[in-house]
A = this chain, B = another copy of it.
């Protein structure tokens, strides 16, 4: 079912929906054979699971390890294989850069080139973030007629380049040759007949010429590679696609950025889940949909800290009544991907999910974890992007298909 087919079926309802994302909540068995969710004491999540449609969801596809952007787009009902975001845009989202619709963003790497201009290290020995900041400050002296240039440090050798102006296009090829021993590619329009793209390539060419002069005496970061030129995509919003006034309650830039991409209001909030639920309560009557994000389940998993992840899950469970008090008509709880502590990274494993509403069938699930949810009515491999239409149905917001 495409997004526009869902849009065709919308009908108004006076219901409020919530999505609680416990980032990276899915896990793998630790030393004692239990996953983080199994090891955690979660009376509130378990009680809710017993009254919910449960299962495990696959955010992107079988075996695919979701990035945070695609993982969240999936939960928002935007199939990440169809709604893909350029790397430049993801970089901007990741550092909270407020990208305008006409901006072109690219992901930059500082790199090392030899006297002939051939790349010898595509990451310039992974320079420190501090050095990166100094280099970016230096590059900000570049001025080119007809375009504003923004340069922002991301991390280590990575930075963000944004061109702001009229008549720009993101349809450019990467300058990163993806190998050493060769020169960076000259910036080129993907379609030489596209005049905006040719114009933008000329601007990037001039920028690179000046950047190379400025960086010439630096070592090891004496040049840069650019890739993933892209404009902010022009997608249906939560309002246009689903008729929902949606609020984002998330404290990390990446998640706030993805929420902004789909037209959510991004509210200012503190980092702890309890205060996020309080904020939702205060604004409960202003919105139809709340996306609430908990980051620490993922951070602890990425740190490989099983015990901390268990603790964070228990804290989320303890905070949950603060959200349940609002009696959301539909509440979906899941993660944007799994982050097993034993792997200390995002993984492809399906994520336990529950949808709670007034029209749930009972199944045999009595606990919210990777093993019990296998018995749920959503099944062991529910497609992530299908959660949104299902939640809309529970919210009474979809009419009959065909007579």
Contacts and interface: CB of A to CB of B under 8 A. Distances in A.
Contact of A371 (B56, B64, B349, B364): B364
A253 to B, nearest CB: 12
B377 A350 contact: yes
A91 B371 CA distance: 46
Interface in A16-35: 28-29, 33, 35
Contacts of A90: 402-403
A379 B377 contact: no
B340 A402 contact: no
Q: How many copies of the shown chain assemble into the complex?
A: 2
A interface, by DSSP: helix, strand, loop or mixed?
A: loop
Interface stretch (A177-185, A210-218, A284-292, A387-395): A387-395
B377 A377 contact: no
**Size band of the A side of the interface?**
35 or more
Contact of A80 (B55, B91, B346, B402): B402
Given A350-B377, A380-B377, A381-B379, A390 B70 contact: no
A361 B63 contact: no
Nearest to A80: B402
Interface stretch (A81-89, A127-135, A199-207, A272-280): A81-89
Nearest to A395: B63
A67 B382 CA distance: 23
B70 A393 contact: no
Given A363-B374, A381-B378, A1 B69 contact: no
A213 to B, nearest CB: 31
B386 A1 contact: no
Interface in A275-317: none
Given A346-B400, A375-B374, A389 B1 contact: no
Interface of A: 1, 5, 9, 28-29, 33, 35, 55-56, 60-71, 80-81, 84-85, 87, 90-91, 94, 254, 340, 342-343, 346-350, 359, 361-364, 370-371, 374-383, 386, 388-394, 398-403
28 contacts: A1-B60, A1-B64, A5-B81, A56-B377, A61-B386, A61-B389, A63-B386, A63-B388, A64-B398, A65-B393, A66-B401, A68-B402, A69-B402, A71-B402, A80-B401, A80-B402, A90-B402, A91-B403, A254-B403, A340-B359, A346-B400, A348-B390, A349-B361, A363-B371, A376-B380, A378-B381, A379-B380, A379-B381
